[in-house]
Amino acid sequence: MGDATIRVGPVLFAVLVLLAVTAAGLAALGRLGSARDILTASARAAVQLAAVSLLIAAVLRSGWWTALFVSGMAVVAIFTSARRITSHRSGGWTALPIGVAVVPVLALLLGSTLVPARPIAVVPIAGILIGGAMTATSLTGRRALDELEARVGEYEAGLALGMVPRRAAIYLCRTAAKEALIPALDQTRTVGLVTLPGAFVGVLLGGASPVRAGATQLLVLVALLAVETVAVLVTAELVARRRLSRPSGAA
């Protein structure tokens, strides 16, 4: 089984550096303006994963530490989505779609005993669900606000026809909401045909049968769809109700 895992050593370090530098170089040549972001993100990922790898052993020994660790992941997700969507203080509302989406689904998985209530199982599943909710919230919030700004004439026309502000806005936000679900839908539709996602590979490398690995991955994918759908709907509603907004005059 040891041969099936990635070996930590100089070769891993060299390949990681080569990949990051290549990506940054191509971004620079293509004038994408993200070369520095690629290098910074790669370096941060390395530092953060190294720290988590050292911390996780202690976290997994205690249910309380596990709960604290998962709460920390949620806080980081909320902060990240808020920063991606707006610089306005209303960004704090991102806690609502992430929380409303993740908590019930995670409770169902644990309550049904499909996911054992053990730290080693809870942490990765919770991380996947929180990450999905964060991505869906960020995409919906950004695109919905962009739609309202780009199609302000349609919004004002709706008001002129007698629509209340929320109804006129939600009509425009639905396009953004639908597009925000595309990544999750594509991942689910093509699983096994284009990619073998992390849960499948992880369970397989852990010694489980391919059937059990497939069942685990299916559960994760469908749970992610549920989480992201809720996050998308709640975020679109927050934008339509002007709970999530941008500073006046912001582009």
Shared-domain flag, residues 147 and 188: yes
Going by C-alpha positions, the residue among 70, 81, 197 that lies closest to residue 140 is 81
Q: Given 29, 59, 89, which residue is the final one in a domain? A: 59
Query: Does any domain span residue 24?
Result: yes
The backbone torsions φ and ψ at residue 195, rounded to the nearest 5 degrees and listed phi first, read -135, 160
Helix (H) or strand (E) segment spanning residue 60: none
Contact 56, 123 (CB under 8 A): yes
In the numeric block, which tokens belong to residue 181? 């679900």
Query: Does any domain span residue 245?
Result: no
pLDDT digits (tens, 9 = 90+) for 28-87: 998 888 899 999 999 999 898 888 777 777 777 778 888 888 999 999 999 999 999 988
Query: Does any domain span residue 250?
Result: no
Going by C-alpha positions, the residue among 234, 235, 74, 225 that lies closest to residue 143 is 235
Shared-domain flag, residues 221 and 125: yes
Exposed / middle / buried, residue 72 (Cβ in 10 Å: 0-12, 13-18, 19+): exposed
In the numeric block, which tokens belong to residue 10? 């100089």
Shared-domain flag, residues 20 and 124: no
Shared-domain flag, residues 115 and 208: yes
Shared-domain flag, residues 68 and 54: no
User: What radius of gyration do the chain's Cα atoms show?
Assistant: 21
Which residues form the domain of 174? 62-240
pLDDT in tens, the chain (251 residues): 445 566 778 898 899 999 999 999 999 998 888 899 999 999 999 898 888 777 777 777 778 888 888 999 999 999 999 999 988 788 899 999 999 999 999 999 999 998 888 888 888 899 999 999 999 999 999 988 888 888 777 777 777 777 777 887 887 888 888 888 888 888 888 877 666 666 666 665 566 677 777 788 888 889 999 999 999 999 999 998 888 888 765 54
Question: For residue 82, what pLDDT is reported?
Answer: 93
Going by C-alpha positions, the residue among 145, 140, 172, 141 that lies closest to residue 159 is 172
Shared-domain flag, residues 52 and 157: no
Shared-domain flag, residues 33 and 128: no
Shared-domain flag, residues 4 and 112: no
Q: What amino acid is encoded at 149 in this protein?
A: E
User: Domains in the chain: how many in total?
Assistant: 2
Residue 127's domain is classified under what CATH number? 1.20.1640
Shared-domain flag, residues 116 and 183: yes
Give the whole-angstrom CA distance, residue 18 versus residue 184. Answer: 29
Shared-domain flag, residues 120 and 208: yes
In the numeric block, which tokens belong to residue 157? 């026309």
Beta bridge partners of 195: 191
Contact 173, 147 (CB under 8 A): yes
Shared-domain flag, residues 122 and 205: yes
Q: Calculate the dihedral angle through the C-alpha atoms of 223, 227, 230, 236, rounding to the nearest 10 degrees.
A: -140
Shared-domain flag, residues 51 and 66: no
